[in-house]
Amino acid sequence: MVNARPRRLPRNFCGRSAADGPHARGTIHSMIHAVYPGSFDPLHNGHADVVRRAARVYDTLTVAVLDNPTKREPLFTVQERLEILEEVTRDMANVRVDRFDGLLANYAGVIQANVIVKGLRAISDFEYELQMAHLNRNLNPDVETTFIMTATRWSYVSSTRVKELAQYGADVSRLVPPATLKRLETKFK
């Protein structure tokens, strides 16, 4: 029996005919701009892994550094953190870096991002991230939060631990990209 129910088309279904050229019937247009927010003080390999993978999934990715003077004294200035990100993402054509302050949900609206990307290392991250996702969705229902599981090999790495190790002279060269390493060496020499 033929199913008479109209087929639901994807939200971005173009619906034009093949004669319309490049936007042929059946073409699905979905330009997704994602924002990956964080303190990135400093950027470590777990962050870099999420950036690279998110850049493969989304059309454009803004990596946004929180410029939050209320947070305890950061090790790196926002400018330094942006410079590290610029270096690390230089070969990623669809990635831009930016800074923001205030609410992430508002910032996402301003830059017209439709997705927030967060990295998840472990279940312990999940409870906090779940709360943030709900809050952000309440503040801006047009933005969806998505999660990328941090690669297992970086699941124990955090900016706090990297700073602590570097401060005591431990070798962190396997935990951070060279752009971060050279700045850590300068800070703690």
Choosing from 104, 108, 117, 148, the residue that interacts with ligand PNS (CB under 6 A) is: 104
Contact letters (x/-) for ligand PNS, 1-40, by CB under 6 A?
------------------------------------xxx-
Catalytic choice (29, 71, 90, 134): 71
Token digits for 76?
Answer: 């790196």
Is-catalytic flag, 47?
Answer: yes
Of residues 40 through 79, those in contact with ligand PNS by CB under 6 A are 66
Smallest gap, in angstroms, from Cβ of residue 178 to ligand PNS?
21
User: Does 103 participate in binding ligand PNS (rule CB under 6 A)?
Assistant: yes
Token digits for 180?
Answer: 């971060």
Is-catalytic flag, 134?
Answer: no
Going by their DSSP bridges, the two strands 33-38 and 60-66 should be labelled as parallel
Taking CA atoms, 5 is separated from 1, 18, 26, 156, in Å, by 12, 24, 19, 50
99-114 burial, b for 16+ CB within 10 Å, e for fewer?
ebeeebbebbeeeebb
Pick from 167, 173, 174: nearest CA to 189: 167
Is-catalytic flag, 16?
Answer: no
Choosing from 14, 32, 120, 135, the residue that interacts with ligand PNS (CB under 6 A) is: 135
Catalytic choice (44, 47, 118, 163): 47
Task: Taking the CA atoms of 121, 170, 178 and 76 in sequence, report the sign of the dihedral they define.
Answer: positive
User: Does 184 participate in binding ligand PNS (rule CB under 6 A)?
Assistant: no
Is-catalytic flag, 71?
Answer: yes
Q: What values do phi and psi take at 185, rounded to 5? A: -60, -40
Smallest gap, in angstroms, from Cβ of residue 10 to ligand PNS?
30
Q: What are the residue numbers of the active site?
A: 47, 71, 121, 159
Q: Which residues bind ligand PNS (CB under 6 A)?
A: 37-39, 66, 103-105, 132, 135
